[in-house]
Amino acid sequence: MSVSARADIDRRVRVSSRGTGPRRALLWAALAILAVVAVMALFPQLVATQDPLRTDVRAALEPPSAAHLFGTDQSGRDVFSRVVHGAGRSVGIGLLATALALVIGLVVGTLSGIAPRAVDATVMRVTDVLLAFPEFLVALVVVAILGPGPTNVAIAVTIAAVPVYVRLARVQTRSLSLAEHVEAARILGVPAMRAFVRHVVPGVLGSLSVLATIGIGSSILAAAGLSFLGLGPTEPSPEWGLMLSGGRNVLVTAWWIAVFPGVAITLTVVSATIVGRSLRAGAEGRAR
């Protein structure tokens, strides 16, 4: 192991252990929750106790019990299994939108950073306008134009997430193009294009990934809001936002249907935000 790599690890360890006791405990709790959510999303059948789509009218609206951990809904479906199976769809759309937005943001932002001034100014103007609105509102307008449906919801949430990444990628490209190691590569005779791809783009990608960890949360929230309104997946798909809208109508008799999917959304988003913030603090510490 080279000295510089060891120093790097050393610095990273120091940064991550810099937080006080409770803060570290919180970070570990957030990572644990995200791990559970990931298992639920990838292997729902391992966690779920029943088929999320199997209806049983005789067991409708039963409160939480040993047989049905989170109770049952109007059609007697097991709410726990539906929450578990919903993870794939609800978190998946957030992940997919964030990943796509990151790639689009990386391409548009880095190119805008080296593009002629007129192109750069136009791109920045458009992102400025989009950034002035909350993601949910932008996504809602896009769905209003494209029409409802799961695919259009995914497109809308992606478009709503893109501007932040474009903005950051452009700023990072500008500052990294002037950084010492890129300058050094240029002096050593590395062609401009190669220096850009090998030495600027990876650095930009690093900053964007940190931002993406926080962005996943807001994309999940925007997607859940659209499905709650009935603009995304339709019954009987298990999806957290959609389950909440079903639970809204039986709130008087069955609180559990509307509580557990909401807890799942909030816990996932809080955890993603905590991990993202800690990554960002680490990245800032390393930059200093």
Residues lying near another protein in the complex (CB under 8 A): 132-134, 136-137, 140-141, 143-148, 217, 221, 224-225, 228-231, 241, 244-245, 247-248, 251-252, 255, 258-259, 262, 265-266, 269-270, 273-274
- Compare residues 185 and 211 and give the one whose CB is closer to another protein: 211
- Compare residues 104 and 270 and give the one whose CB is closer to another protein: 270
Q: Answer whether 164's CB lies under 8 Å from 131's CB.
A: yes
DSSP 8-class letter at 199: I
Cα atoms in the 13 Å half-sphere on the side-chain side of 271: 20
Give the other-Cβ count within 10 Å of 38's Cβ.
Answer: 13
Structure tokens at 94: 């957030």
**Nearest-approach distance from CB 193 to another protein, in angstroms:** 34
**Nearest-approach distance from CB 132 to another protein, in angstroms:** 5
Give the other-Cβ count within 10 Å of 63's Cβ.
Answer: 12
**H/E run at residue 91:** helix 79-114
**Nearest-approach distance from CB 122 to another protein, in angstroms:** 13
Strand spans (E) along the chain: none
- Compare residues 195 and 272 and give the one whose CB is closer to another protein: 272
**Nearest-approach distance from CB 168 to another protein, in angstroms:** 17
Interatomic CA distance for residues 177 and 109, integer angstroms? 13
Interatomic CA distance for residues 55 and 150, integer angstroms? 23
**Nearest-approach distance from CB 125 to another protein, in angstroms:** 10
- Compare residues 166 and 265 and give the one whose CB is closer to another protein: 265
- Compare residues 80 and 136 and give the one whose CB is closer to another protein: 136
